[in-house]
Amino acid sequence: MSIQGPKTSAMFDRALAALVNGVSSGWRYWGDDDTIVLTGGEGAYVYDADGKRYIDYHLGFGPVILGHGDEHVVAAVTRAVANGTTFAFTQEQEVSAAEAVKRAVPWVERLRFTNTGTEATMHATRLARGFTGRDIVVKFEGTYHGAHDYVMFSTPGDTTDALGSPFSPVPVVMSSGMPRPIGGLVRTLPFNDLEAAERLFARDGANIAALFVEPMLGNAMAIEPQPGFLEGLRELCTRHGAVLVFDEVKTGVRIAVGGAVEIYGVTPDLATFAKAMGNGLPVAAIAGRGPVLGGWDRGGIIQAGTYSGNAVSTAATQATIERLLTGEPMAQLDRVGNALMDGTAKILADKGVESAVLGRPAMFSFYFGEGDPTDYRGATGHDEDLYENLVMAMIERGVMPSPDALEPWFLSAAHSDEDVATTLQVFEESLAEALG
């Protein structure tokens, strides 16, 4: 049965005639009969073209931390757009937003804004290479660092067989169109396996420009780092002169206002932020401390972008962060997130489903299988069909997480106790249906 009502179906036909596959980003296409067209959002809800309401746990792949159409962000953006949006100069709004980021993430000394997470990781890659004079980039299996060619290897969705032995992982190309020689500049590693990282650095350390890591696997079930893992990566990078980059595009300003550094206590050289820092407006940043940013000070390493630091996106950033710094939104988000994690874990246990609820209240996932996975390879052992059947039954009933088990559920401060109660009821009914 299609999840499109008649008006949504007609709207998607219009979309298909004007947009390739009816979407502007490939992963939004769920098939001709199952791609939903939304007309708007408010708070914790989104509405489709048939007027059907969904409690939204997708939140645009994570950004909407205060809820759709948050009044503080709307007011700030409205003021900014009327005052001129893009100039060929630094603007006051951009400086105020950068200061707000520094207040939220106190280890950050300076930053540069970009528009998307992809741009941020692309510029962080070039900065690290320019600073170290080296070419190789290391990343972990099951992480996603954006859609540029240098990092699209061993991303979520690859089979364990394709990834090779954990002792000598094979970087798996994500897309046709990526030039083959780039594969020679990438090394991949299993997450939480410090010994594998040590072996790689012992062999290749003198050529490694940067090690990128999502400190919590935001694209692979919100798997968390084991104690000592991030500390070990920090030590390895320092010892070998490589730049440690935390990709906090999903975790930043979300799992805590200060991001993963606030939670795990390990400080990188650079971090990339995006998503929750703008509550849905296109804004991102490469932030850091210490000598690496000096690569830009000295010149010769290009970073540029016409819209970077534009007044509208940075007004959204400042408003979002100032609101989060009051403490209220995070307290609400933690409360409802914990209630959902506990409630769903109880329902799963009562129904005898072997499972684990992974992650943190702002961003959590379900692993349907034995034990707790500690890396992407472990996560691939989950019961994919059960999860997808569960989520599709939930979507029919008006609750909207991603049907991809690797993609976490995202919470916003607009989710209420009532939303949690409805979600738990829908979860229970849908699970019973999915179990047959």
Sheet holding 355-360, edge to edge: 355-360, 363-368, 409-410
Sheet holding 399-400, edge to edge: 38-42, 45-48, 53-56, 399-400
CB–CB of 64/412 below 8 Å? yes
Smallest separation, CB 253 to ligand PLP (Å): 13
Catalytic positions are 144, 247, 275
CB nearer to ligand PLP: pick between 121 and 320: 121
CB–CB of 175/152 below 8 Å? yes
Chain position carrying tokens 């940043």 = 285
CB nearer to ligand PLP: pick between 55 and 249: 249
Give 228's contacts (C-beta < 8 A, 6+ positions apart).
Answer: 194
CB–CB of 381/11 below 8 Å? no
CB nearer to ligand PLP: pick between 116 and 365: 116
CB nearer to ligand PLP: pick between 60 and 241: 60
Rounded to an integer, what distance in angstroms lies between the CA atom of residue 259 and that of residue 264?
9
The residue nearest ligand PLP at its CB is 117
CB nearer to ligand PLP: pick between 146 and 361: 146
For residue 43, the cross-strand partners are: 68
What is the end-to-end Cα distance of the chain in Å, rounded? 17
CB–CB of 158/334 below 8 Å? no
Closest CA to 204 of 169, 159, 177: 169
Chain position carrying tokens 């499972």 = 355
Q: Looking at 326-416, list the stretches that DSSP marks H as alpha helix, in order from N- to C-terminal side.
A: 328-350, 376-379, 384-396
- What is the DSSP secondary-structure string of 221-253? TTBPPPTTHHHHHHHHHHHHTPEEEEEETTTTT
Residues that bind ligand PLP (CB under 6 A): 61, 116-118, 121, 144-146, 214, 218-219, 247, 249-250, 274
CB nearer to ligand PLP: pick between 192 and 423: 192
Smallest separation, CB 422 to ligand PLP (Å): 27
224 phi, psi to nearest 5 deg: -95, 155
Smallest separation, CB 144 to ligand PLP (Å): 5
CB nearer to ligand PLP: pick between 121 and 389: 121
CA distances from 263 to 215, 343, 384 (A): 10, 24, 30
